[in-house]
Chains A and B, each alone.
Chain A
Amino acid sequence: MYELLARVFEKVKARASDPKIRRLAEKYGYRAYMVARYVEVLGWSGAQLLLEANEKPLTPTIRCNDYLIDCGELKERLEEKGYVLEGLEFPPVGFRVLRRGIGSLGGTHEYLQGYYYIQDAASMSIAYALTPEPSELIVDMAAAPGGKSTQILQLTRDKALLVAVEKSPRRIRSLRSHLQRMRFTRYIVVLGDSLRVPLPTGVDRVLLDAPSTGEGIIRRDPSRKASRSLSDLSYIHETQYKLLSRAISLVKDGGVIVYSACSLAPEEGEFVIHRVLREHPEVTVEAHGLPATPGVTSYFGVDLDDRVASCGRFWPHIHDTEGFFVCRLRVRRD
């Protein structure tokens, strides 16, 4: 186990045995170690606000595919079917679905035409941090079901070349289906494990939306309150670190990596970045430009690299989204 995490976990376990923490965890159905960590980062009142926010289901949000349709026209067409939509402050192509109309959101004719993607507001923000440009070669290392892959091509008007990698044969079907439904063509979908599969090198940008514990999607999947242990967290951290190290090996000098994870856990966010900054001096953190709160720099007595403050996190109780960590990195080899 990563030595720094081992140190933190001892303190997490000690804090989790506090009766006050245990009572709060029991009240909301969490494992005590999770609540101990929320209290560490947010304080008591912040942690309670988070736990309360996680009890409220997410309002559905969609991302308009402005590569195919004017977003005002999409809004009108859906409102003719009884939907009520409200534009998000960010990103500009996002809509909150305040009332559902005829048919399911994933079954309208507009959906089949590829005019939108059903996606959380935090999730649809991540591709903006990558700032993809037309004509670039871009790798999405964990691409299914395709929300961010389709958005990279949307932002580049289908003019970048995207290599979208997915290791699950079941999930890769969704990835291909969404790319085709939304009418993108500049992609190569690769079936394989991003740690091992042959991939292009010298690429302009890499998006790594890393596999995670899913602590950020408790509002969608409450089973995540109790389905992961500290040893799972350690295992996932290790996988995320290895994937990010592979991402670093793929980008050209001056290339950009966006690392994200749908998790609230600093172990899956700031600690991964801290470790990379320590072990890869060629990597620096850049401003991500998203309306997220700064990364955590002090956690259970461990001081992390100050630069992780430039990473960001979307919180359910602050941003009314899923929980998401995001960090933009640049690799300079000289």
Chain B
Amino acid sequence: MALRIGLDNVYSMGLYVGMMAPGRWFKPGLPLAHKLAPLCRSKAKCVKVDEAGERFFLYGRSVMGERVSGWKPGLVLVLNSRGEALGWGRGTITNIGGVKRRLLEPVWDLGWYLRRGG
């Protein structure tokens, strides 16, 4: 058996971990979210959204803090109430009508498969 494939022709392979812009940022991928979801109980930084929050999130919209259990600032792995990964979000504080509110903004959600996946 000879596994010879021209690298120029390889479009994608293996677990998609994420997207790296050298020296700038790393955007974690959706398959990585599924891989890390089992670690939410111990090591990974995760939040859970309720059913309505899940719908908002998968539409690529922000979720208000009261729909997020265990809200944390910064990059987080987002789960639904069943503990299934929904993607990556970012916990932020926003000012709405002079009141500071906790928000979960989508970074990369599973709805991407419908909107952009092809």
Give the tally of cross-chain contacts (CB within 8 A): 86
A239 to chain B, nearest CB (A): 20
Interface residues of B (CB under 8 A from A): 1-6, 9-16, 29-31, 34, 54, 58, 80, 84, 110-111, 113-114, 117-118
Q: A281: which B residues are within 8 A, CB to CB?
A: none
Q: Hey, what's the 0/1 contact readout for A198-215 against B, CB within 8 Å counting as 1? A: 111111000000000000
Interface contact A197-B9, CB-CB below 8 Å: yes
A252→B1 CA distance, assembly (Å): 8
Q: A113: which B residues are within 8 A, CB to CB?
A: 84, 110
A287 is an interface residue with CB less than 8 A from chain B = no
Q: B34: which A residues are within 8 A, CB to CB?
A: 183
Interface contact A177-B4, CB-CB below 8 Å: no
Interface contact B54-A163, CB-CB below 8 Å: no
A192 is an interface residue with CB less than 8 A from chain B = yes
A173 is an interface residue with CB less than 8 A from chain B = yes
A183→B34 CA distance, assembly (Å): 8
Q: A183: which B residues are within 8 A, CB to CB?
A: 31, 34
Q: A325: which B residues are within 8 A, CB to CB?
A: none
Majority-rule SS of A interface residues: mixed
A318 to chain B, nearest CB (A): 34
Residue from A190, A198, A200 having most chain B Cβ neighbours under 10 A = A190
Interface contact A200-B4, CB-CB below 8 Å: yes
Q: A218: which B residues are within 8 A, CB to CB?
A: none
Interface size on A, residues (CB 8 A): 34
A49→B36 CA distance, assembly (Å): 53
Interface contact B117-A198, CB-CB below 8 Å: no
Interface contact A190-B5, CB-CB below 8 Å: yes
A107 is an interface residue with CB less than 8 A from chain B = yes
A180→B84 CA distance, assembly (Å): 15
A109 is an interface residue with CB less than 8 A from chain B = yes
A174 is an interface residue with CB less than 8 A from chain B = yes
A176→B113 CA distance, assembly (Å): 10
Select one of B12, B84, B117 contacting A181, CB under 8 A.
B117
A138→B54 CA distance, assembly (Å): 37
Interface contact B84-A202, CB-CB below 8 Å: no
Q: B1: which A residues are within 8 A, CB to CB?
A: 137, 200-203, 252
A191→B12 CA distance, assembly (Å): 9
Select one of A106, A176, A201, A203 contacting B12, CB under 8 A.
A176
Interface contact A201-B13, CB-CB below 8 Å: no
Q: Hey, what's the 0/1 contact readout for A169-197 against B, CB within 8 Å counting as 1? A: 01011101101110101111111100001
A112 is an interface residue with CB less than 8 A from chain B = yes
